[in-house]
Amino acid sequence: MKKSSLYIKLITSILIFFGMLMIYSSSYVWSNYKFSNKYHYLIYQLIFLFAGIIVLKFIKKMDINIIKKNTNLLLVVGIILLGLVIVPGIGVVRNGSRSWFSIGPLGFQPSELMKIILIVFTAKYLEKYHVKINNIKDNLFPLLYVIFTCIFLIMLEPDFGSSMIIILTIISMLFNSGLKYKFFGILGIFGLASITGLILIAPYRLARIISFVNPWKDPLGSGYQIIQSLYAIGPGGLFGHGLFSSRQKYFYLPEPQTDFIFAILCEELGFLASGVIIILFIFLFYNFYQISIRENDLFKKFIIIGISSSLAIQTLMNLCVVVGLLPVTGVTLPFFSYGGSSLVVSLISIGLILNISENKK
């Protein structure tokens, strides 16, 4: 357990270091143009990093049973925040979504926090009902009602990417709860129908699907971002153009410090360095797995499963979008992409994992 904790701390530190380096490298051109300060994005990300480390240390030391006892309160607070953020005048619109609270120059995204809250809530619920979870009407449906209520509120923002991460995370937790496999077939059909409906009622989502299939059909519109991402990755080659030497960040790839930061990493540092980063992510998730298989407390085990699934799914979705294997979803790369809410929640996740690992009796 202690060896896994040491590896998690080391890998997380390395990922954060390279994340900060790439945020500066990918953003200083746009930051200098927009704010006359090439360190603007780096400074704000460092502020959130400092806050996230404080929260991580606090969570790592606290009694996890306190979180367990107050799970329902956390859920209520989370739902209230999701409801408030979609109210005009309270929530702030960015990139077409009313997903943020504005705190001065900083922003906070409640859907990111809801990922952790729902993992903890589901872990507590499955600990209590895992033996009877196949009694779908009495024991599974109440959990699904809560989950889909939160998903509904998140989709009103709209935030399709966070919704998909939450749904797939809960499915992975249910998969490890002893639920019969036939239910996942039913859930898959329902999910596919729901996703199809969400795509059809929102023209911009349909445009993203079309651009995913053939981005060159609309190279200056819906396909522009993925084309510019591929133009960054391809020329990077094995060793890249060199740190700070990206060409695509000069107003070709829009806001490269956010969802497509990995494309800039590939362009500047090449295939070898980007491969090392992917290996570090894999090794991080492997150590999560090692902790989970040694944990006997079901509440803690389900938390680890949920957190590792959430971070792994988010990482995989982001990388697949960047290389054109998935439509653009607006999902950040943990520890790399610019975004305070994403960074703080990722550090909270690490804090919970370290709490379980280091405080095991």
- CA 294, CA 284: separation in Å to the nearest integer? 16
Closest residue by Cα to residue 22 from 346, 262, 340, 237: 262
pLDDT tens for each residue of 287-326: 999 999 888 899 999 999 999 999 999 999 999 999 988 8
Sign of the CA dihedral 22, 26, 28, 32?
negative
Question: Per-residue confidence at 360, pLDDT binned at 50, 70, 90?
Answer: low
pLDDT tens for each residue of 156-205: 888 888 988 999 999 999 888 877 777 877 777 877 777 777 666 666 66
- CA 63, CA 69: separation in Å to the nearest integer? 10
Contact 45, 23 (CB under 8 A): yes
pLDDT tens for each residue of 334-345: 999 998 899 999
User: Residue 361: its pLDDT value, please?
Assistant: 54
- CA 112, CA 93: separation in Å to the nearest integer? 16
Spell out where 89-221 has E strands.
Answer: 91-94, 97-103, 106-108
Contact 41, 257 (CB under 8 A): yes
- CA 100, CA 85: separation in Å to the nearest integer? 6
Query: Is the per-residue pLDDT at 1 higher than 70?
Result: no
Residue 161 makes CB contacts below 8 A (sequence gap 6+) with 317, 329, 330, 331
CA distances 318 to 216, 242, 323, 325, Å, are 21, 23, 9, 10
> Which residue type occupies 174?
L
> Which residue type occupies 80?
I
Question: Per-residue confidence at 332, pLDDT binned at 50, 70, 90?
Answer: very high
- pTM of the predicted model as reported, rounded to 2 decimal places: 0.92
Mean pLDDT, the chain, integer: 88
Residue 8 makes CB contacts below 8 A (sequence gap 6+) with 284, 287, 288, 350, 353, 354, 357
Contact 78, 150 (CB under 8 A): yes
Facing residues of 94 across strands?
Answer: 97
> Comparing 30 with 131, which gets the higher pLDDT?
30
Alpha-carbon radius of gyration of the chain: 20
pLDDT tens for each residue of 21-69: 999 999 999 999 989 999 999 999 999 999 999 999 999 999 999 999 9
Question: Per-residue confidence at 138, pLDDT binned at 50, 70, 90?
Answer: low
Q: Which of 132-146, 223-237, 297-311 has the lowest mean pLDDT?
A: 132-146
Angle between helices 160-175 and 141-155 (to 10 degrees): 160
Structure tokens at 300: 């803690």
- CA 139, CA 257: separation in Å to the nearest integer? 43
